[in-house]
Each structure stands twice: as structure tokens, then as C-alpha cells.
Amino acid sequence: SSLPLPEAAEAQVMLRQGSVVSAECDAFVASELPEWRELLDPIVTLRIAEGGTIPARDYVQRQWRLRELARRANAKLQAVQVIAAPTLPLSPPRLDEVNTVAGYRPRNGAALSNTCVGNMLGLCGISIPAGLDQNAMPAGLMLLARHGQEETLLAVARAVERTLGTPVQRLGMPPLCNG
């Protein structure tokens, strides 16, 4: 059944405006791993550095807003054990599609959209390999539960796996593990 969750849509809008995660990552790398910055992929380095430009007031206001959205979302989810959704809303891109900032940004944003919303709303989640998408790439089934409901989430995930079969049963052994 369908559960209206406008908090998810608002969290997606906030994600497009600038992630608090990138600000936190920039601060962490600067204080704990400064020598690693030069080892990071240049596109990832750019994303992290952009997080460092978020004004403190905006960061704090986003955190306050996210706390309120998480509170409301968790209250609405009292009636359900889990939400099921695709882990990724698209097939993984080819490397030549993401080797520039212009190619990387939209695909990365789209790829993260489902999982980031769960994180931003304080939900716990798991992704189960579910099958192959239209491009014969592995596709995941994401299950989300309320904050603090990890045991319930894992029990439901295990029940889903018992019903659908394990990834090896459904998809076979991954080629690189078959050696």
C-alpha cells in the first residue's frame, strides 16, 4: 500500500541544495585525514570541498530542519514495519559517462537519491541483491525502517531473502568470486 511521506520529498529538495554530509566530510578530512585529500578522486574532492563552503548558519538550519523531518517521518512510519523501494532508481552508469564533473553530478545525485533520503530522515536501511535490471546489472531492493528498529529491519530482510532466495541462488556466483 501507499504511505504519503512528504518529508521524503522535502529531504530530496534539501539534498539538491547541498548536503550536510559533504560539509561534515570536508571537516573530517581537514581535521583527521588532511594527507588523504590528494589521494581522493578529483571529482569526489570537488564535492567534499563544496561542502566546506556551506555557511555555518545554513548548515545548522539544515540540521534543525532535518531533525524535524526525521521526527515527523518516524511518527508516520509507526503503522508499518518497513518501506520497500529500489536501492538505485537507475542502472549503474558506464565509466565513460561519469569521468567528468558534468557527467558525474547528475548520475551520482540520482544514484544517491533513494538511500540519502533514508539517511537524512534518520531511518535504518538495508539493500538486498534482488535481481538484474534492464541492462543486466545487479539491482537491489532497499528496505527502510524507523530509527532504532534495526532488529525488525534485519528480521524482515531475512524473511525476504528466505522467500526470494539468496543472491547466489537468484543471480549465481559473481564472476570475480568464481576463481
pLDDT tens per residue, range 6-50: 999 899 888 888 778 889 999 999 999 999 999 998 888 988 998
Nearest of 3, 1, 21 to residue 115 by alpha carbon: 21
Which grid cell is 45?
574532492
Cα 27 to Cα 58: distance, rounded to the nearest angstrom: 15
How would you list the strands of the sheet with 83-86, edge to edge?
A: 83-86, 138-145, 124-132
pLDDT digits (tens, 9 = 90+) for 115-129: 989 999 999 999 999
DSSP code, position 93: P
- Average pLDDT on 80-89 reads 92
The pLDDT tens digits for 127-172 are 999 888 898 888 999 999 999 999 999 999 999 999 998 888 888 8
